[in-house]
A and B are shown apart, each in its own frame.
Chain A
């Protein structure tokens, strides 16, 4: 990190102004303090200033309250992760101070609320402490009726001053956020903000300016992964969905329930997970390619019906926002341990597609791709994200919606005849003819979970079962042949290749950058298509001495994580090894670096 915050006390006088390329700010408090709101304002401001931004948050799984953090990294260059270490720690309570001081880099700045935090002398040499009575000054600024309310906005003012943020843009954001019935809410927010902004504590020794973005002139949108999926599905033309609430999937159903009526669609809250997937499949059968989604145990409950959709060859998108498992597991923490259930979940041989977006922008565009694969191949498509990508906010160039949005209104043009499970179909891909479509020869299809003949009528014939199994398999093989190989990050030959999937692309790339800066020969690829895999990965692997599969899941009985085992099975290559962890937190760059070093030595 070049031109970063110095933080060391200077020899008195006015605060100096330093130019920086990026900053990592961690805000620690309790979940009801509105710290997500401060982080959200900062992220949105960065997006509007054409800067790159990435956030990270933790939420307690308790019903109300509990410690919570929000970390935001803003940069004028490429931002790959939310940052291993913070430059600034803003803490509201003693527990926030003591619990998060370790996440601050040495010589970083602690901004603390002197009303609740007593600094520890032994830390005052390592970190530059700036104490401000945030709670009481907020009460002073806006009148102290509601205890502690508004102190987050006061703190936002402090940060705005410290980093010379664009005040008029922030005022506009506050105005947008607090438009509502009661104008006093906005005037209070603005009063708190300006009180914070005009506070100049005597021991602030340095203020900062983030350099201008390298992406000038790019219109950006700012959202988290769950929002990007909901809007991606809407752009794809999905007009029906059904689900049951479960963390961290729930936001997607809330957004779609609220938004779909604008487009003449409906999202239905069902009595349980099984009803949700069944209802979505029913709508897909009826011609409205539908979505269901869930997390953790909810996915397990849906697997029987997903198997039906494989057998009956129905399009369906299943969003799986992974969390820690098994069972109720770690409801609000990150893990990538549902790859096995996504690829294989359920009984019998039931091939289906699994896609894994790597960032928030992918969540938007790959949702559309998921819908189109489901429609083309008439198969369920798993869309695997995780708690980290679901809640992390990123800015990305605004999509050209006129081009991107699809109309997938079903077609009911009569057909002369129809074999829903035609064994002679090219690549095994047969169209789905929806109810409402007249079939002129008078022979109508039955969508079925029983093994069936080409018309969908039950058949227990061994030959038919083998042929239909092959048909369902061949569709996915045909899809696999069309998939692009991932681009190699770094040179295509070297000592170590890191292989990742899902939300871990940022920290893996940053690890590669660190290795290469130190002269080590490390490259990486990131798989977005997990089942089927694209063909030709073996040619990439052959350029390296070691291939390490980096995953947030357990190393398993035989020493490989879930993707690692799939790659081992396909390529039988002894140089494929696993780098795994299950601590419920996103990868830190230094963790990857250390594990790779240890593994490469063996």
Chain B
């Protein structure tokens, strides 16, 4: 029988490893690829640096990480990471990442997206990837504006935000990403902001360790087109960084929804986290139950049984 989707592939140890076969964790220099093309001062730099830190801290190897994105400023991310990655089409990073996740249980699958990519053109996929609880981590770097196309209204732009497509101020009600994620069935929902590096790292690490679809809503300021958007969440700019209260029960969906509904800047940290079977696990279960009926048979013999009924 050929190797199944649920078996972890065996990766041979390379000749360059130490005599004991142990590999050292990667250094930042080994993880960094192209110099980021973001504007100086962009919040995305911080998230990239903390992704490197997470890889260093958790001793993840190049070949074990897959960094996937769609289109937008944030979605340039994979080019800056020295690991297997894909820069896919606008809005569709999640189904692409789902294909990787469902066929390769041995990989850490990270998707990086922006507010337009994830909630506007990719809105349908956000709903269904969360609902199916496909194992991966999605970090949405939300700047509340379209940056790559230079200042148009985004689905998270607040009412009244003046952009080139709403010169009089945005008139459409914005999406609240955390509320939406909870409502459609995401099993891990957290908020963080690029201006608090330690919090970003802790949140990404918790997300990575979650067995399921983990969604990190990360505020990331666009200094070119929406400067000061997140000052109210930044103590250095006179704002307040309020963490999720210690008393909050992260498994209480209604409490999480209520917390997510707080006025901006709201609370930061894990809002919601429940353990429920992933689609990956459910598909593996289906496979195990079918395969148990064909133990010892080669693939062609299984197909032969089907053909015998088509004579």
Q: B125 — which chain A residues lie within 8 A by C-beta?
A: 271, 275, 278
Given contacts A282-B95, A409-B3, contact A447 B300 (CB under 8 A): no
**Are the CB atoms of A436 and B9 closer together than 8 Å?**
yes
The yes or no answer to B168 lying at the interface (CB within 8 A) is no
Q: In the complex, A433 Cα to B20 Cα: how many Å?
A: 27
Given contacts A285-B86, A308-B88, contact A262 B302 (CB under 8 A): yes
Interface 9-mer from A108-116, A190-198, A235-243: A235-243
Given contacts A221-B310, A275-B95, A305-B89, contact A262 B100 (CB under 8 A): no
Q: A44 — which chain B residues lie within 8 A by C-beta?
A: 310-311
The yes or no answer to B286 lying at the interface (CB within 8 A) is yes
Binary contact track A248-287/B, C-beta < 8 Å → 1, others 0: 0000000000010111111010111011101111111111
**Are the CB atoms of B103 and A287 closer together than 8 Å?**
yes
Q: A414 — which chain B residues lie within 8 A by C-beta?
A: 11-12, 14
Residue of A222, A274, A440, A444 most packed against chain B (CB within 10 A): A444
Q: B64 — which chain A residues lie within 8 A by C-beta?
A: 436
**Are the CB atoms of B128 and A275 closer together than 8 Å?**
yes
The yes or no answer to A32 lying at the interface (CB within 8 A) is no
Binary contact track B79-99/A, C-beta < 8 Å → 1, others 0: 100111111110010111111
Chain B positions 291-311 with a Cβ under 8 Å from a chain A Cβ: 291, 293-294, 298-304, 306-307, 309-311
**Are the CB atoms of A444 and B1 closer together than 8 Å?**
no
The yes or no answer to A545 lying at the interface (CB within 8 A) is no
Q: B231 — which chain A residues lie within 8 A by C-beta?
A: none
**Are the CB atoms of A398 and B1 closer together than 8 Å?**
no
Given contacts A259-B306, A413-B12, A444-B82, contact A47 B311 (CB under 8 A): yes
B46 nearest CB across to chain A (Å): 22
Given contacts A239-B2, A457-B79, contact A263 B99 (CB under 8 A): no
Binary contact track A350-366/B, C-beta < 8 Å → 1, others 0: 00000000000000000
The yes or no answer to A220 lying at the interface (CB within 8 A) is yes
**Are the CB atoms of A447 and B86 closer together than 8 Å?**
yes
Given contacts A234-B303, A262-B294, A264-B4, contact A447 B85 (CB under 8 A): yes
Contact of A438 among B6, B7, B63, B124 (CB under 8 A): B63
- In the complex, the chain B residue whose C-beta lies closest to that of A404 is B300
The yes or no answer to A329 lying at the interface (CB within 8 A) is no
The yes or no answer to B227 lying at the interface (CB within 8 A) is no
Q: B311 — which chain A residues lie within 8 A by C-beta?
A: 44, 47-48, 219-222, 398
**Are the CB atoms of A266 and B102 closer together than 8 Å?**
yes
**Are the CB atoms of A263 and B302 closer together than 8 Å?**
yes
**Are the CB atoms of A223 and B310 closer together than 8 Å?**
yes
The yes or no answer to A401 lying at the interface (CB within 8 A) is yes
The yes or no answer to B106 lying at the interface (CB within 8 A) is yes
**Are the CB atoms of B303 and A405 closer together than 8 Å?**
yes
Q: A447 — which chain B residues lie within 8 A by C-beta?
A: 85-87
- In the complex, the chain A residue whose C-beta lies closest to that of B302 is A262
Chain A positions 395-454 with a Cβ under 8 Å from a chain B Cβ: 398-399, 401-402, 404-405, 407-410, 412-414, 434-440, 442-450
Contact of B96 among A285, A408, A446, A457 (CB under 8 A): A285
The count of A-to-B residue pairs whose CB atoms sit within 8 angstroms is 231
B271 nearest CB across to chain A (Å): 24
Q: A275 — which chain B residues lie within 8 A by C-beta?
A: 92, 94-95, 98, 124-125, 128
Q: In the complex, A436 Cα to B104 Cα: how many Å?
A: 9
Given contacts A222-B310, A275-B92, A435-B84, contact A239 B14 (CB under 8 A): no
Residue of B33, B34, B87 most packed against chain A (CB within 10 A): B87
**Are the CB atoms of B11 and A436 closer together than 8 Å?**
yes
Binary contact track B225-242/A, C-beta < 8 Å → 1, others 0: 000000000000000000
**Are the CB atoms of B107 and A450 closer together than 8 Å?**
no
Contact of A281 among B9, B83, B99 (CB under 8 A): B99
Q: In the complex, A407 Cα to B304 Cα: how many Å?
A: 16
**Are the CB atoms of B95 and A278 closer together than 8 Å?**
yes
Interface size class for chain B?
35 or more
Given contacts A305-B92, A412-B12, A435-B66, contact A240 B99 (CB under 8 A): yes
Given contacts A240-B102, A283-B102, A305-B89, contact A274 B95 (CB under 8 A): yes
**Are the CB atoms of A442 and B30 closer together than 8 Å?**
yes
Contact of B87 among A220, A290, A305, A449 (CB under 8 A): A449
Q: In the complex, A261 Cα to B289 Cα: how many Å?
A: 8
Given contacts A271-B128, A405-B303, contact A444 B99 (CB under 8 A): no
- In the complex, the chain B residue whose C-beta lies closest to that of A445 is B84
The yes or no answer to A528 lying at the interface (CB within 8 A) is no
**Are the CB atoms of B95 and A279 closer together than 8 Å?**
yes
Q: DSSP majority for the A interface? A: mixed
The yes or no answer to A304 lying at the interface (CB within 8 A) is yes
Q: A408 — which chain B residues lie within 8 A by C-beta?
A: 2
Q: A399 — which chain B residues lie within 8 A by C-beta?
A: 307
Residue of B16, B68, B92, B286 most packed against chain A (CB within 10 A): B92
The yes or no answer to A288 lying at the interface (CB within 8 A) is yes
Q: B62 — which chain A residues lie within 8 A by C-beta?
A: 438-439, 442, 444
Interface size class for chain A?
35 or more
The yes or no answer to B55 lying at the interface (CB within 8 A) is no
The yes or no answer to B48 lying at the interface (CB within 8 A) is no
Given contacts A436-B104, A458-B79, contact A290 B99 (CB under 8 A): yes
Given contacts A263-B2, A263-B302, A448-B86, contact A282 B34 (CB under 8 A): no
The yes or no answer to A176 lying at the interface (CB within 8 A) is yes
**Are the CB atoms of B128 and A270 closer together than 8 Å?**
yes
Q: B283 — which chain A residues lie within 8 A by C-beta?
A: 261, 266, 268
- In the complex, the chain A residue whose C-beta lies closest to that of B11 is A412
The yes or no answer to A93 lying at the interface (CB within 8 A) is no
**Are the CB atoms of A440 and B14 closer together than 8 Å?**
yes
**Are the CB atoms of B63 and A435 closer together than 8 Å?**
yes
Contact of B286 among A47, A261, A445 (CB under 8 A): A261
B267 nearest CB across to chain A (Å): 31
Binary contact track B8-19/A, C-beta < 8 Å → 1, others 0: 011110111000
Contact of A435 among B30, B100, B307 (CB under 8 A): B100
Q: In the complex, A407 Cα to B94 Cα: how many Å?
A: 28
Residue of B9, B84, B283, B287 most packed against chain A (CB within 10 A): B84
Enumerate 13 A-B pairs (CB-CB under 8 Å) in ascending A order: A176-B309, A239-B103, A263-B1, A263-B302, A268-B98, A270-B128, A278-B96, A282-B98, A287-B104, A290-B103, A436-B9, A436-B84, A438-B14
Which residues from chain A sit less than 8 Å from chain B, CB to CB?
44, 47-48, 176, 219-223, 227, 231, 234-235, 237, 239-240, 242, 259, 261-266, 268, 270-272, 274-276, 278-288, 290, 304-305, 308, 312, 398-399, 401-402, 404-405, 407-410, 412-414, 434-440, 442-450, 457-458
With A271-B127, A282-B97, A401-B307 known, 10 other A-B pairs at CB within 8 A are: A265-B4, A266-B103, A275-B128, A398-B307, A401-B304, A405-B299, A412-B63, A435-B104, A438-B61, A444-B84
